[in-house]
Chains A and B, each alone.
Chain A
Amino acid sequence: MNALLRVEQLRKAFGGLKVTDEVSFSIRPQEIAAIIGPNGAGKTTLFNQITGQLPPDGGRIRFEEVDLVGRSPQDIVRLGIGRSFQIASIFPDESVRDNLLAACLSRLNQTRRLWRPYTSHLQAGEEAMAILASLGLESQANRPAYELAHGDQKLLDIGIALALRPKLLLMDEPTAGMSPEERQRTRTLIKKLWQEYRLTLVFIEHDMDMVFGIAERIFVLNHGRLIAEGAPESIRANRDVITAYLGEETG
């Protein structure tokens, strides 16, 4: 089995609370997968361990046969794992273009340069414009990022992650806080980006239209445990999943 990401027996507890409980799964190259589960199921915590923000208590995380546990977030990003956040993580005072330029310059290893103006780097400039076009944010290029509407800030966050040309992209609730129309637009856009950039994409989401609409595989977490994984049809019919969402044992 040729997995891009392999998580084995991952464990993490905060005090007595097991937030990640013996979780094992793997992600295949170029698939699009969703992680779902009730609030507090440990979805974001799982991302935080993969991306190096939070050290696991035990278990292994391997990315292209490289062990990720113990590495810093910036190392992991440079190995090829990009991330967007539940609350848009952008550089608010910079223009939309410069937000993307920062990411492009970082990918091109140009950020140590301290002489030439950052706006004069042609390749970074072209890459940033290409991302802007993919996101449909060209008309906003010169606006400071804090002025963008909430939904556009979320897109910019995704754009920053895309600019790093990640082999694996992790998105934490890409449609959180969006209006129904924005959700619809974002759903289509993410599917388009996945195809256009040939991404391997894993997203956490509460929007079930998005989850069942575009994911090829779905992982279900509850109380830190992976209680189900499989194609959308099998998840929809899974008794444990239905209980987790509707049953009385959820908190």
Chain B
Amino acid sequence: MDLPRRYKFGLLWTAGLLVFALVPLLMTSRYQMNLAGHILVWGLFAVSFNMLWGVTGMLSFGQALYYGIGAYSVGLLVTRVGAAWFFPALGIGLATAALISLLVGLLVIRMTGVYFTMLTLAFAQLAYQVTLKWRDLTGGDDGIQGIIPPGLLADKTFYYYVVLAVVFFSIWVLKRMAYSPFGLVLRCIQQNPERVRFIGRSVRMNQLRIYVISSLFAAAAGALMAGMDSSIHPDMLYWTTSGEVILMSVLGGINRFFGPFIGAIVLILLEDVIGAKTEFWPIVIGSVILVIVILFPRGVVGEAQHLWSRFRGDSSQRSPA
């Protein structure tokens, strides 16, 4: 079947949307819907993170900072001011993330490589400590419970469909961006920053721009999560949260746009299945991940596409040197 690429892509896109849309109808327990919701939110978070890493080559180890800003904006305003503040809180969360990521971004983009990574980690850990210690505002390590969104949104199934719509829309927006002239410049920055300057473009300005954009979508994911789980905790800002999206991206493949989303599916399902079977699940998951990474260095998606093109005997497909 040799359909033009864009139709093939449209088919996959529709199929994915259908699968997630059918979950609430086919589920046997509410738990499954919650699991699917988690996959969607983490998928968005991971895809937005990979715009920094896989596309631009900026390995941030601190995107949990913006995820947390989104979550705590919704959590605090909805529980302290009122449920009606859900949408304003979302807006305030995004605005705060934009402002903080702009300020932090101006500092971190001066660094490259591992220094960039460590500095992003430092800022996120700083925010984690503040969240943990400022009990009066954030509830400290108890977090915030009872975050009930207003009206129809309080219904878990309805909320799930809102999450589905927002996540698919956001990922579509990010995908457009990845293949826009701006996205091309980002890929060029990863491959040869000096040449980017010598086609007349500022490396730092474009890095700052994608840092802010990526952080905005991370904040959106955090805000969605707060409404879905009805509770939030400071661990959302901890380095393991940043690590999780890195892991998802590696598992799925950082050089494919949808890699991190597939990675989110794999990791969350693994944690769910193995977590139910043994209390030693972190060791088992760690081993499974190790095996996947060693067997599939291109990630699940990259490896699948590679196999598919070999199966079709298509030698024109790119393969890394």
Contacts and interface: CB of A to CB of B under 8 A. Distances in A.
Given A102-B185, A117-B179, 13 more contacts: A51-B198, A74-B200, A77-B199, A91-B188, A94-B188, A98-B184, A102-B199, A106-B185, A106-B199, A114-B177, A115-B180, A118-B179, A160-B199
Contacts of B194: 89
B80 interface: no
Contacts of B180: 113-118
Interface in B295-321: 318, 321
Contacts of B202: 72, 74
Interface string B25-45: 000000000000000000000
Contacts of A114: 176-177, 180-183
B8 to A, nearest CB: 16
A102 B184 contact: yes
Interface of A: 51, 72-74, 77-78, 82-83, 89-94, 98, 101-103, 105-107, 110-119, 121, 144, 146-147, 160-161, 163-164
B192 A115 contact: no
Which bracket fits the contact residues of B?
Answer: 20 to 34
A89 B182 contact: no
A77 B194 CA distance: 12
A119 B176 CA distance: 12
Interface of B: 176-177, 179-185, 187-188, 191-192, 194-195, 197-202, 206, 318, 321
B9 to A, nearest CB: 12
A118 B183 contact: yes
A164 B198 CA distance: 9
Nearest to A116: B180
B200 A107 contact: yes
A113 B179 CA distance: 10
Nearest to A101: B184
Given A92-B192, A94-B188, A98-B184, A74 B201 contact: yes
A164 B183 contact: no
Contacts of B195: 89-91, 160
A148 to B, nearest CB: 12
A108 to B, nearest CB: 9
Q: Give the top 10 A-B pairs by smallest Cβ distance, nearest first.
A: A77-B200, A114-B182, A118-B181, A106-B199, A73-B197, A114-B180, A78-B200, A89-B195, A105-B181, A91-B191
A163 B199 CA distance: 9
Nearest to B316: A142
Contact of B181 (A72, A111, A163, A164): A111
